[in-house]
Amino acid sequence: MVIYIGLLFMFIHISYSGIVPVEEAVSYAEAEAVAGGVAMLSCNTTPPVKEDMVYLIIWYKEGLSSPIYSYDSRDKSSKEASHWSDDRTVGGRVSFELGSGKYPARLTLQAVKDSDGGLYRCRVDFKKSPTRNQNVNLTVLLPPDSLAIINEKGDHIPNYILGPYPEGSSINITCIATGGRPPPRVTWWQENALIDEVYEKLPNRQIRNMLKLEKLERKHLNAVFTCQASNNNLVAPISSAVTLDMILSPLNVKILGENRPISADVKYNISCQAVGARPPPRITWIKGNNVLRNFKRVVSEDGNITTSIVSFTPSVEDYGKTLTCRVESHNPSDSDRVYEDSWKLNVHHVPIVTVTFGSKLNHSIIREGVDVYFECIIKSNPWVYKLMWRHNVSN
Ligand SMILES: *[C@@H]1O[C@H](CO)[C@@H](O)[C@H](O)[C@H]1NC(C)=O
Ligand SMILES: *[C@@H]1O[C@H](CO)[C@@H](O)[C@H](O)[C@H]1NC(C)=O
Ligand SMILES: *[C@@H]1O[C@H](CO)[C@@H](O)[C@H](O)[C@H]1NC(C)=O
Ligand SMILES: *[C@@H]1O[C@H](CO)[C@@H](O)[C@H](O)[C@H]1NC(C)=O
Ligand SMILES: *[C@@H]1O[C@H](CO)[C@@H](O)[C@H](O)[C@H]1NC(C)=O
């Protein structure tokens, strides 16, 4: 019993001297803050016994010989307590609030600097109970400085548009984050899905994540790929996004309407539509062996449908010829593919009739009494259904 009282006495005595007794268990906590942000260092100020009260709270920082903050409520109420902070270190950036309810007391440090990191000690002196010391290790996080997205040639991606790349190609895009402490996680996202979280360290405080996209498909057109770099949960990660542009083959080519007979010497507009090609393809028209020149191209607003309208006036000679609409795909892997649609022209015209002497007849030796015969040569589509011979009749 005597020993116990003696010990207790010694404890009280030491704690008022301001020196941390070596044998005292000092609690340890960790705190994180982002540079430029706010740090909160908490400290348990609740007296160990109910009828006791806080007298004095002093904050120290490891490496500094004098305190950085004090709260003094000796012989005052907590509202009248005097606050003091060290101008050379934390000055006006710091404030302290006693805890209430379930919130512990905390020292709040604004505009956190890199140099604010380190071990802090909060010393709480009670009116009756022994002094309590608590350590808080503040880690200052530095968000990454910048992100760069570069293509496989090592070029920065202009206007955040990646490509265009042909359908079927495989590409890789690289995201490089610079700076940050601890080194950030660098990840690739498509929409809200994480698609690549494998990154590697480079020299010069850089982290690289290379995203490989194999065999691009039509569905990847306008896909948005976002690179994110983050080293904490306190502030939003920095990110940068690129949109994938593609070169697409046509899905189909069609001359619009039905291939009905057309009339000679009448002007027609015939349309041909290419769907799904990107960028809008060149469309050419070929009739027989001739290229037609009189056409115009219309591209739908989304660029998905390209229509070419050719104007031409068929002639009798066009009967049986082929009218072809040919679409030139921009996709290099289509070099030996042909995208086209054709019509075989059925040109209607009025019968064209010529009359000649019979071919076996020598018309310079026609005399009375000899037989004469004539040939009627008809060119007509559709074929004639009635044929008449007349002699010396007008109309
Ligand atoms: C404080 O935390 C840092 C890492 O954030 C660590 O390196 C250091 O050792 C810690 N200090 C103490 C005293 O535990
Ligand atoms: C990235 O793409 C380029 C071009 O396609 C290729 O030469 C390079 O080998 C690729 N790099 C990796 C690591 O796949
Ligand atoms: C063909 O198109 C032109 C304009 O492109 C128009 O002026 C003309 O009326 C059209 N002709 C027919 C027969 O539709
Ligand atoms: C283009 O049109 C085709 C057919 O309507 C459709 O299947 C395809 O999704 C469209 N593509 C785009 C990029 O709108
Ligand atoms: C037609 O008859 C004349 C006179 O008999 C003759 O000179 C001429 O060679 C003949 N022509 C033909 C194509 O047989």
Kindly state whether residues 136 and 204 are assigned to the same domain.
Answer: no
Residue 71 located in a structural domain: yes
Asked if the structure places residue 364 within a domain, the reply is no
Shortest-distance ligand to the CA of residue 31? 1
Percent of the chain with pLDDT over 90: 74
Residues 286 and 266 in one domain: yes
- CA of 359 from ligand 5 middle (Å) equals 13
Q: State the virtual CA torsion across 102, 106, 110, 112 in degrees, nearest 10.
A: -110
For 177, the domain range is 146-247
Q: Is the CB of 301 under 6 A from ligand 4?
A: no
- Pick the ligand that lies closest to the CA of residue 209: 2
Q: How far is the CA of 361 from the centre of ligand 5 (A)?
A: 10
Q: How far apart are CA 153 and CA 316, in angstroms?
A: 57
The residue to mutate among 362, 366, 367, 370, having the most atoms of ligand 5 within 8 angstroms of its beta carbon, is 362
Boundary-marking domain end, from 141, 165, 186: 141
Please state the rounded mean pLDDT for residues 145-153: 92
CB environment 58-88: b (16+ within 10 A), e (fewer) = bbbbeeeeebbbbbbbeeeeeeebeeebbee
Which of 357, 363, 364 should be mutated for ligand 5, with most atoms under 8 A from CB? 364
Residue 22 inside a domain? The answer is: no
Give per-residue pLDDT as tens, 172-185: 999 999 999 999 99
User: Which residues neighbour 193 within 8 Å (Cβ) at sequence distance 6 or greater?
Assistant: none
The answer to whether residues 135 and 41 belong to one domain is: yes
- Domain contains 161: yes
In the chain, the number of structural domains is 3
Q: Confirm whether 15 is domain-assigned.
A: no
Q: And the tokens for 137?
A: 């290790």
Q: Are residues 283 and 229 in the same domain?
A: no
Residues 184, 204, single domain; the answer is yes
In short, whether 267's Cβ falls inside 6 Å of ligand 3 is yes
Q: How far is the CA of 153 from the centre of ligand 2 (A)?
A: 9
Distance 200 CA to ligand 1 centre (A): 25
pLDDT at residue 59, as a whole number: 96
Count of Cβ atoms closer than 10 Å to residue 213 Cβ: 21
Residue 89: per-residue pLDDT: 87
**63-77, 274-288, 339-353, 354-368: segment of lowest average pLDDT:** 354-368
Q: Please state the pTM of the whole predicted model.
A: 0.72
User: pLDDT of 208-262, one tens digit each?
Assistant: 999 999 999 999 999 999 999 999 888 889 999 999 999 999 999 999 999 999 9
Quote the tokens at residue 300. 């739908």
Q: How many CB atoms lie within 10 A of CB 352?
A: 12
d(CA 36, CA 374): 109
pLDDT band, residue 7 (cuts 50/70/90):
very low
At a CB cut-off of 8 Å and minimum separation 6, what does 395 contact?
none
Q: Residue 157: which pLDDT band, with cuts at 50, 70 and 90?
A: confident
Q: Separation of 331 CA from ligand 2 center, angstroms? A: 20
Q: Looking at the structure, do residues 34 and 137 belong to the same domain, yes or no? A: yes
**What amino acid is encoded at 387 in this protein?**
L
Say if ligand 5 is within 6 A of residue 359 CB: no
Run of H or E residues at 14 = helix 2-17
Same-domain status, 102 and 68? yes
pLDDT at residue 213, rounded to an integer = 94
In a domain, 385, yes or no: no
Q: Same domain, yes or no, for 50 and 133?
A: yes
311 in contact with ligand 3, CB cutoff 6 A: yes
pLDDT digits (tens, 9 = 90+) for 284-298: 999 999 999 999 999
Pocket test for ligand 2, best of 153, 169, 172, 202 (most atoms within 8 A of CB): 172
Instruction: Please name which ligand lies nearest the alpha carbon of 254.
Output: 4
Residue 15's pLDDT is what?
38
Higher per-residue confidence, 345 vs 19: 345
The tens digit of pLDDT for each residue in 192-209 reads 999 999 999 999 999 999
**5 in a domain, yes or no?**
no
**Which residue has the CA at smallest separation from atom 10 of ligand 5?**
362
Place of tokens 């060149």: 282
Same domain, 265 and 224: no
Q: Looking at the domain assignment, is residue 59 inside a domain?
A: yes
Which residue's C-alpha comes closest to atom 14 of ligand 1? Answer: 137
Within this chain, do residues 299 and 229 fall inside the same structural domain, yes or no? no
* 96 lies in the same domain as 195: no
pLDDT of 377 above 90 = yes
CA atoms within 13 A on the CB side of 347: 22
Last residue of a domain, one of 316, 333, 348: 348
- What is the per-residue pLDDT across 255-313, written as a single tens digit (0 to 9) for each? 999 999 999 999 999 999 999 999 999 999 999 999 999 999 999 999 999 999 999 99
- pLDDT on residue 24: 66
Residue 302 CA: which ligand 4 atom is closest? 14
**Protein residue closest via CA to atom 6 of ligand 4:** 276
Q: Say which residue the tokens 């009025």 belong to.
A: 350
Say how many Å lie between the CA of residue 201 and the centre of ligand 1: 23
How far does the centroid of ligand 3 lie from the alpha carbon of residue 269, in Å? 6
Cα–chain center distance at 139: 33
Last residue of a domain, one of 192, 225, 247: 247
- The CATH code of the domain that includes 310 is 2.60.40.10
200 and 157 within one domain: yes
Give the model confidence (pLDDT) of 8-23 as tens digits: 333 333 333 444 444 5
Residue 294 near residue 309 (C-beta atoms within 8 A) = no
Q: What is the pLDDT of residue 395?
A: 64
Cα 214–chain centre separation: 17
Summary count for the chain: helices (H), strands (E)? 1, 29
Q: What is the mean pLDDT of residues 338-342?
A: 96
